[in-house]
């Protein structure tokens, strides 16, 4: 269960929250699903800013609910739909199939990264 202690951001119908833990992508996704949500997935600038607020609070990069699909360089939401909003860092994504997960930097931009690294868990509900 997420110990919330003020680590919540509300945007529209979504609530973003973090437990402050840094784990690999699969563990982050699992803990969000166990809590009844999924990994934070920004669908627009407002949601991206809300997630960034939590990233800045912890000063840690965080995984987003986005993964590379079967086609190298084509990223999708974890529910399988194509991205309709992106905020890639300059020259990203550049993993060419080797970096299948997406992290948010502390400036709100995105980078493709290996899924085995430990990043902050931020869930959406």
For residue 2, pLDDT over 70 is answered with no
* Count of beta carbons in the 10 Å neighbourhood of residue 14: 18
Per-residue pLDDT at 82: 92
Per-residue pLDDT at 7: 77
Per-residue pLDDT at 97: 86
For residue 46, CA distances in Å to 15, 61, 91, 107 come to 12, 18, 23, 14
Model pLDDT for residues 3-47, shown as the tens digit of each residue? 555 578 889 899 999 999 999 999 999 999 999 999 999 999 999
Residue 89 backbone zone (phi > 0: left; psi -120 to 50: alpha; other: beta): beta
Torsion of CA 99, 90, 10, 16, to 10 degrees: 20
Look-up of token digits 């920004």:
42
Strands (E), 37-118: 38-39, 62-68, 75-77, 101-104, 110-113
Per-residue pLDDT at 3: 54
Confirm or reject CATH 3.10.100.10 for domain 9-124, answering yes or no. Answer: yes
Spans of all domains in the chain: 9-124
**Do the beta carbons of residue 64 and residue 42 sit within 8 Å?**
yes
Model pLDDT for residues 70-97, shown as the tens digit of each residue? 888 899 999 999 999 999 999 999 998 8
Spatial distance between the Cα atoms of 64 and 119, rounded to a whole number of angstroms = 10
Per-residue pLDDT at 4: 54
């Amino acid at each position: 269960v997420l110990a919330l202690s003020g680590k919540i951001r509300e945007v529209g119908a979504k609530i973003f929250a973090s437990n402050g833990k840094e784990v690999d992508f699969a563990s982050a996704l699992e803990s969000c699903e166990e809590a009844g949500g999924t990994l934070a997935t920004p669908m627009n600038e407002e949601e991206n800013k809300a997630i960034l607020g939590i990233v800045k609070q912890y000063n840690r990069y965080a995984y987003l609910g986005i993964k590379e699909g079967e086609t190298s360089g084509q990223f999708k939401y974890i529910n399988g739909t194509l991205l309709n909003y992106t905020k890639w860092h300059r020259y990203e994504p550049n993993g060419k199939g080797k970096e299948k997960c997406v992290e948010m930097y502390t400036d709100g931009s995105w980078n493709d990264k290996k899924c085995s690294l430990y990043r902050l868990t931020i869930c959406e509900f």
